[in-house]
A and B are shown apart, each in its own frame.
Chain A
Amino acid sequence: MSALPPYASPLQITWYYMFRVICGLIFFFLIFPILVILPLSFNAENFFTFTKEMLALDPAGYSFKHYQDFFTNPDWQQALTNSVLIAPVATILATGFGTLAAIGLSQSHVPYKSAIMAVLISPMIVPLIISAAGMYFFYSRIGLQGTYWGVVLAHAALGTPFVIITVTATLVGFDRSLVRASASLGANPVTTFFKVQMPLIIPGVVSGALFAFITSFDEVVVVLFLGSAGQKTLPWQMFTGLREQISPTILAVASLMVAISICLLTVLELLRRRSERLRGLSPG
Chain B
Amino acid sequence: MMAMQAVILSAGEGTRMRPLTYTRPKVMLPIANKPILQHLIENLARAGVDEIVLVVGYKEETVRKYFGDEFNGVKIRYVRQKKQLGTAHALLSAEHVLEDRFLMLNGDAIVFEDDLKKLVKEESGIAVFEVPNPQDFGVVEVVDGNVSRIIEKPEKPKSRLINAGVYAFTKEIMDYVRNTPISVRGEYEVTDSITMAVSNGFEFKAVEIERWIDVGYPWDMLKANEELLANLESKIDGKIEENVTIKGEVIVEEGSLIMSGSYIVGPVIIGKNCRIGPNCYIRPYTSIGNNCHIGNAVEVKNSIIMGNTKIPHFNYIGDSIVGENCNFGAGTKIANLRLDEKEVTVNVKGKVINTGLRKFGAVIGDNVKTGINASINVGAFIGNDVFIGPGAVVSGVVEPNSRIY
The answer on A and B forming one complex is: no
Partner-B contacts on A (CB < 8 A): none
**Hey, which bits of chain B sit against chain A, CB under 8 A?**
none
